[in-house]
Structure 1
């Protein structure tokens, strides 16, 4: 049978919200029936009026349990087995037969149950066959309508999103509206099924028409407000007052349209003004403020998130650009240093410089592309750079370079190429081959805090020095990177006097 072949699909969907809602309602109904049975509930009064014997078990408990169980298990069958497979066009004939058979069985069972729970009504008819015809007609009308709702809900639950996505109006306005319309329609159908089930045979069809009409009108009005009315008002800088009074006018127009629609269907004309007043109260007092609240707390927050994403994207692009600026800068400095060393006759020193340059190039090609690297690798790069610069300046007795860089044996992480601009700046602007000059570098860590100091001498460059008019990009880049990557996690102090340039950086690391 298809019930077995659809087992995996049923198991997959059994955890859905519909199962738990229907099961909870079923349990509450059972508790209510048991409670009424305990206190002698049911229609015992009508039985005594017609001089009929009344058994609380036979004329109330068993028929009501049987009826509510039929509705519960039929809903599970339609919603989780037969209709989902029909919607997917799987085993169509088998599932149609199951649906029709269950409906026929439910109609007959409901009629039989009512002949016990409402046996006193049989005496109201002269002909027993006529009484059974009335019972059958009532059972057929109720079960057919309710099962039609069950299957409509199950079909919409399976194919509703796909159907809504085909509606051009929904697709053009906003893609987010489709799942929201889907959810709102499901809630309306669920409430409609509960409404019909609770009223049972006592359905007032005029009230049913009201229930079929008023909620969809309010739902449609809410979506129009959220996706069209409020956005247009906000574009024109209009507030809640304009929105509210505009909705009052729209409510009057909608009420007039409903009046034209309802009059032909209402035998009791008195219910028409009640319906219009109820709908107007819902539109003005519930739907109008709710739509405004939803728009304010959803779409304006989405706008803020989108703005933050845009700013983050700009920061990302800026950060990547800064990285691309830094790498060539160091590369050219290193090549110039190697070139100067090669001119100084000693091939051994040139080889050492090439080796250190290779280590630096390897670092830039691999680690520099990562967001974070170990502090140990960053320190190795700094030492290579300092050693390479020492090769260039080692022949000059007037140049003093002191580097006190603590060996890092921890697992701290740091953004690559974050510290080197300060050292590069010191060698670029603090060293003179003609004048006494110095550079002092210290780096140490305590727990997760890094302390980094660089100080260097300052001298006046010659007029023909090509670096005289260049301010460099290193320090400016590192300032921006620190503000982007270590916001409120760093302290940068830069002091400059006539003879000295000093940098102090405190950094909170991960």
Structure 2
């Protein structure tokens, strides 16, 4: 995962949140909904304006936070971390704190005007409100700086320690899921007019959860999973969570106010979330991924063995030797005037040549597929030519353009017909029709059927390769074929229409 990619995501998330908050402010102002802030003005007998005392100051506060994030996260902090013109950018941060502090102070004087009566003098009220404004600005800079530094360090770890593209993809996915979950929750709190403290607490707890999860799944468990039990892992997550309480409490104190309840609230939500959600989730997910990786490795190993065995078998069969042997037998058959035997050997040789060379291609010329079908049918005719009760009729077109087809796609239907439609004891027939028109292939095979004996091993079997060819048609010719299979008491019929 590259830093630039992450920054693009951060920019769009921050911009979307900014516009959501602004739209919510506009909606609340038009509906006179300010979370009851106007009641304090009424009690203090001070005039109240939804625009000047609610919308405008909150708009300025939100804009200040948004633009501060852009300046710090994309300009100042990255430059300081790279030690590029650090003095200039430190000065920029000081000016940013001053500007945001002034804006926050002014906004608070308009939002909390009713608090002026709690101070002896007007100057004391202004001093206090502007002091809180500068304190908030300082907290904002610290929080964004810590976030930016942590993010940069995390990206550095990913780039330097995760060399595999798969691991980078996984960690990127996990981060995106975590950020999406945080963003969904934040949108929920904002749209339901929840307090800033709840939004801050949600961000702190979920940010810590994402960090602990990434650390556990990609660093801690890969190093110790084989030698660590879940209870020991649980204790380590507890230790990490307790250490994180310190910076989280510091940020919460600046946000919620300096009191003991703040630390208790952080502990109340932070520890259970990390111990009972993050830790088990990290353990389970890592264990599940490890098991999947083992299964994939095992499958690759078995596949490699199968390939090696197949290559070994191929190396033991020399096609040239087979063809030479068939040619020798063919010549011998001609010398002995065994024309039918010679013809069968020649057809068989052509079929073997097709199987060894053209059957390995994704697509072949339709004429080559038809040649193979004709050779197969010719061999079957030689086998059945002595029986007058077997009729084999073929109407196969022999003129084709440049159509192509997946090899061995049609032969299973013909094989099925000869295997299940021929009986040496009963009258049988097979009819095969193959034609093309406008790049569309029309293929029909019909054959006689007859009852098989109970002890016939083929009785309960369906046609050779029919299920396989159905699957191939679905994969290779989706929405480009129509297959009709019909069986009656006396006939089995197949019709295939195929867009070439």
Please give the TM-score of this superposition, normalised by the length of structure 1.
0.54
Change (3 A) 1:320 1:398: same
Confirm or deny that 1:28 pairs with 2:17: no
How far did residue 386 of structure 1 move?
8.5
Change (3 A) 1:308 1:449: farther
| Cα offsets for 1:371-429 (capped at 9, x unmatched) | 34355422214546898999xx9xxx9999x9865525897844359969x99xx9xxx
The 8 Å contact of residues 61 and 104 in structure 2, kept in 1 or not, is answered as: yes
Aligned residues: 426
Q: 1:252 to 1:141 in 2, by over 3 A?
A: closer
Deviation at 1:45, TM superposition (A): 1.6
**Alignment partner of 1:111 is 2:105:** yes
Contact 1:188–1:215 (8 Å) recurs in 2? no
Asked whether the 8 Å contact 2:363–2:407 carries over to 1, the reply is yes
Contact persistence 2:29–2:51 (CA under 8 A): no
Query: For the Cα contact (< 8 Å) 1:63–1:117, is it kept in 2?
Result: yes
1:156-186 deviation digits (Å, cap 9, x = unpaired): 77x5664122564998x96566436744775
User: Residues 220 and 125 of structure 1: is their aligned pair in 2 closer, same or farther, counting only changes over 3 Å?
Assistant: same
Look up the match of 1:331: 323
Let me know the Cα RMSD of the aligned residues: 6.8
CA 1:168 to 1:271, structure 2 compared with 1: closer, same or farther past 3 Å?
same
Residue 66 in structure 1 maps to residue 55 in structure 2: no
Write the distance in 2 (CA, Å) between the matches of 1:189 and 1:215. Answer: 8
| Counterpart check, 1:164 vs 2:145 | no
Name the CA shift for 1:31/1:312 in 2 (closer, same or farther; >3 Å). farther
| Alignment match, 1:369 | 360
User: Per-residue deviation at 1:63?
Assistant: 1.9
Do structure 1's residue 291 and structure 2's residue 282 form an aligned pair? Answer: yes
C-alpha contact 2:178 2:210 (8 A) present in aligned 1: no
Instruction: Call closer, same or farther: CA 1:166–1:225 in 2, change over 3 Å.
Output: closer
Structure 1 stretches of 5 or more lacking a match?
1-8, 427-439, 454-478, 490-503
Structure-2 residue corresponding to 1:4: none
Contact kept in structure 1, 2:57 and 2:108, CA below 8 Å: yes
Structure 1 pair 177/133, CA: closer, same or farther in 2 (3 Å)? farther
Other-structure match for 1:407: 396
Deviations for 1:325-357, whole angstroms, at most 9, x for unmatched residues? 585575345543565489799xxxx9x99x999
Residues 301-342 of structure 1 show CA distances to partners (whole Å, capped at 9, x for unaligned) of 555555556666666677777777585575345543565489
Deviation digits for residues 108-150 of structure 1 (CA, Å, limit 9, x no counterpart): 3232222222234445445555544433332223234324545
- Equivalent in the alignment of 2:208: 216
Q: Is the 8 A contact 2:26 2:55 kept in 1?
A: no
Q: For residues 412 and 95 of structure 1, do their structure 2 counterparts lie closer, same or farther at Cα, with a shift above 3 Å needed?
A: farther
State the 1:370 CA deviation. 0.5
